Structure 1
Amino acid sequence: MNNSTTIIIGGGPAGLFCSLLLAKTGCPVLLLEKMHTCGRKLLISGSGQCNLTHTGTIPSFLNHYGEHGKFIRSALMHFPNHELIRFFEEQGIEFTENEEGKIFPKSGKSRDILTALLNEADNAGVQIQVDEPVQKITHHSDEFVVTTKLTEYYSPYVVLATGGFTYPVTGSTGDGYLFAQEMGHKIIQPGPALAPVYIPEFPFGELSGISFSGARLSVFRDNKKMRETTGDILITHKGLSGPGILDLSRYIRDGDELKVSFLPCQNSANARDELTGYFSSGGIKQVKTILSSLHLPERFARKIMEVAQIPSDITCAQFSKQLRNRLITFLLEYPFSDVRLGDQKDAMVTRGGIALDEIKQDSMESKIIQGLFCIGETLDIDGDCGGYNLQAAFSTGALAASGIHKKITGKKISEK
């Protein structure tokens, strides 16, 4: 192997993209993938349809990475969403945008994206070794020694692109965290993100499939509000999912209390007063009629009255203050106690990872070890639903390729 070869560990979207961009400049690249094939997690992204990215400006992207939007700004500016789309369009892939701004291949097949990446990597001359898991990485005198089950490789540059620890069946088992930690990096405790919430003794399981738009969601821990947001939610057999829950999940820990408003409202006090007025002035109207006027699904309205122990045929005139307040609380702040977050088999991405204060945000190079680059889900970055995580993978991969190219040639890939 050429001793100037860059070794990229991990054949997901970040690793593949970094490898092919670097190889296109003439730099030798070896990519090591422990599974039989590359890109197995990419194939199941977006339920197999591959939500590649999202519409919007880069400043609008930054709010979709929790507290870490500032760090990833350089990568997104270096390789933004429109450049990502153009790259694949040049490979003959057409795209479509849904009403939420999510971008998908028009074919609806993530396989098309992976095939394009593999073809471009092959055309660029990337040497891909599959079925070769890395066992250890050491660094001595400006050179890395990468030990696999088959042999040892030597290189001045190594890229960790091993992904997170979610969907372990695809090969994402957190290997990169261990490698980085052994080389002196701090690891922020990994956990599931973009994950559903499971609720013990969930009272609405029979309503699985019913969704609510613009629900207000609040996370409490030890009676302290930790986070509040709004988003669309979906009732499942065992709890809650949907974009609002998935995006909030990075802040949820097992044992937390989740309070849910099933009615879209910005201010719970105003909404409570408004609902009180509806019921107080309802007269002979049945309570369920008032609920129907709020555009709540009929099955849900019946169930929440049952859970609140309110007779189904009660009229507003018969509605006591105690029962009224209970129902309003259930509608606006239903408390789900001791919730459990879906684990790594359920979560789409990983929160936590290599600490960002130890990574140069203008190149993805380690501040601790020169020549070590960390990209994609190995980093302590996770995005919302909508293509933000794949965009981060491609953008950090592109920036790392440019950073390595500059160390080799003195110029970034974008420079002439």
Structure 2
Amino acid sequence: MLDRQYDCIIIGAGPAGLFCAAQLAPVRVLVLEKMVLPGRKLLIAGSGQCNITHAGDVKSFTEHYGDHGAFLRPALMAFPNTSVLTYFEGRGISFVEKELGKVFPASLSADDILDALLDACDEAGTEILSYTPAEMVSFDDGMYAVKTLHGTYYAKVLVLATGGKSYPQTGSMGDGFTFAEALGHSVAEPHPSLAPVYVSDHRLADLSGISIPGAAVSVWRGGKKLFVRFGDLLITRFGYSGPVILDAARWMRAGDQLRIAFSPKKAEELDVLIRAACTASGTKQVQNLLDDAGCPDRLTKQIVKESGIPEGTVGAQLTAAMRSRLVGNFTAYPVEIDHVGDFRVAMATAGGVMLDEINKKTCESKIAPGLFCIGEVLDVDGDTGGYNLQACFSTAFLAAQRIRQIL
């Protein structure tokens, strides 16, 4: 048993697990990774470019984690975005800020971040066993036991850094939720986050690839508006994506109705604009009177068609009913969600280990002393823009601080 006994075992060699391990020297740490190589999901972050964090004021970060940002406040304050950049800059990596405050390594390669984490773990004396999936965890007589195909390993401290269920091909299959439940924790039902939506009767499929900056999208359920979000919208061949959809996907469900404002103008403003254009240029075709609606030409032409306006209709022929439908489709185009993208396409997982069972100042379990939950295994998911990786590093930092105190 002694050769398989460690001070701390970390399950999961993703960004949270590796960063936590790197902070623990001279503690004897074992990291168990189910995949052949560590960091598989990190390598696809930001389409392989690794949007590592966001450049905004860290005090505003809590607004970007759905309903659970308050839990992360101590972690974010203890190890903010500036600390993440300083840490990796100290390991020879420089960074660039791109659109909307997203921060990437200057090389635009996630490999550089993973290599830095692995080098740090090597320097800390961390032992990493790849292709060694944890099968079962238990606690007895002050020690955690982790059973694998290659044997059982023991430690006083156990860290669950297994991620969620998104991109299961990278190894994120929800194992950590099962382990947490085995040790007495409750788990909020996991569901996809940062996912595109697939819609029923997708009449704009031919416009796939068109992006609408600053679109407004409201979500309705049972005839009641749940919320409205603003951001860039992407029309896809199956439905809709882009930050405004991805960030709100955590709250969307099959059967919900989206009402999309393609035009930046309010309905009343657009109605006045169309009336004035018809009066000033009544012999022009309707689609040619809508340049000021703020939409791409192809989308404008399709919206005119969707509004039941016959091809060739000129401004002077536009009836009040036609104009009403036109304004409605530009400012509240209705589509029904068939389903939200599943874990194979979702970039993050909503749900996870219940936060009221975790000490937010240490990420240690309130139920099982010496058990820590960090990163996406927690019931926390962030918006696009680097917020999820930031949460991984910040929660890992808090856990490492506490682990050094108790070992």
TM-score by length of 2: 0.96
In structure 1, which of residues 20, 24, 44 is the aligned counterpart of residue 22 of structure 2?
20
Partners of 1:37 and 1:160 lie apart in 2 by: 18
Superposition pairs for residues 197-208 of structure 1, below 5 Å? 197-208=197-208
Asked if 2 retains the 8 angstrom alpha-carbon contact of 1:365 and 1:371, the reply is yes
Cα displacement (A) at 1:113 = 0.5
Partner of residue 374, structure 2: 375
Partner of residue 164, structure 1: 164
Cα displacement (A) at 1:280 = 2.2
Q: Does 1:136 align with 2:131?
A: no
Partner of residue 318, structure 1: 317
Deviations 1:270-307, CA, capped at 9 Å, x for gaps: x2222221222322143212322223111111111112
In structure 2, which of residues 5, 9, 13 is the aligned counterpart of residue 11 of structure 1?
13
Partner of residue 33, structure 1: 33
2:196 aligned partner, one-letter code: P
Asked if 2 retains the 8 angstrom alpha-carbon contact of 1:257 and 1:339, the reply is no
Partners of 1:86 and 1:312 lie apart in 2 by: 59
Q: Does 1:272 align with 2:267?
A: yes
Which aligned segments of 4 or more residues in structure 1 are displaced greater than 3 angstroms? Answer: 1-4
Cα displacement (A) at 1:99 = 3.0
Deviations 1:225-258, CA, capped at 9 Å, x for gaps: 2221111101111111111111111111122111
Unaligned runs of 5+ in 1: 266-270, 409-416
Q: Partner of 2:41: helix, strand, or coil?
A: helix
Partner of residue 52, structure 2: 52
Q: Partner of 1:329: helix, strand, or coil?
A: helix
2:21 aligned partner, one-letter code: S
2:295 aligned partner, one-letter code: L
Partners of 2:167 and 2:192 lie apart in 1 by: 10
Q: Does 1:86 align with 2:86?
A: yes
Partner of residue 328, structure 1: 327
Q: Partner of 1:100: helix, strand, or coil?
A: helix
Partners of 2:131 and 2:274 lie apart in 1 by: 66
Partner of residue 304, structure 1: 303
Asked if 2 retains the 8 angstrom alpha-carbon contact of 1:280 and 1:317, the reply is no
Partners of 2:274 and 2:130 lie apart in 1 by: 65
Length, aligned pairs only = 401
Superposition pairs for residues 259-408 of structure 1, below 5 Å? 259-265=259-265, 271-281=266-276, 282-283=278-279, 284=282, 285-408=284-407
2:287 aligned partner, one-letter code: K
Partner of residue 64, structure 1: 64
Assess, with a 3 A threshold, how the Cα gap between structure 1 residues 2 and 145 changes in structure 2: closer, same or farther. Answer: closer
Partners of 2:351 and 2:227 lie apart in 1 by: 18
Superposition pairs for residues 177-216 of structure 1, below 5 Å? 177-216=177-216
Partners of 1:140 and 1:295 lie apart in 2 by: 65
Partner of residue 125, structure 1: 125
TM-score by length of 1: 0.94
Asked if 1 retains the 8 angstrom alpha-carbon contact of 2:274 and 2:290, the reply is no
Unaligned runs of 5+ in 2: none
1:19 aligned partner, one-letter code: A
Partners of 1:319 and 1:286 lie apart in 2 by: 10
2:73 aligned partner, one-letter code: R
1:144 aligned partner, one-letter code: Y
Asked if 2 retains the 8 angstrom alpha-carbon contact of 1:2 and 1:28, the reply is no
Asked if 2 retains the 8 angstrom alpha-carbon contact of 1:235 and 1:241, the reply is yes
What CA RMSD, in Å, does the superposition of the two structures yield over aligned residues?
A: 1.2
Cα displacement (A) at 1:96 = 0.4
Deviations 1:24-75, CA, capped at 9 Å, x for gaps: xx11100000110000000000000000001122211111111111100111
Asked if 1 retains the 8 angstrom alpha-carbon contact of 2:198 and 2:337, the reply is no
Cα displacement (A) at 1:312 = 3.1
Judge which range, 305-314 or 324-333, deviates more. 305-314
Asked if 1 retains the 8 angstrom alpha-carbon contact of 2:4 and 2:152, the reply is no
Q: Does 1:98 align with 2:98?
A: yes
Partners of 1:312 and 1:299 lie apart in 2 by: 14
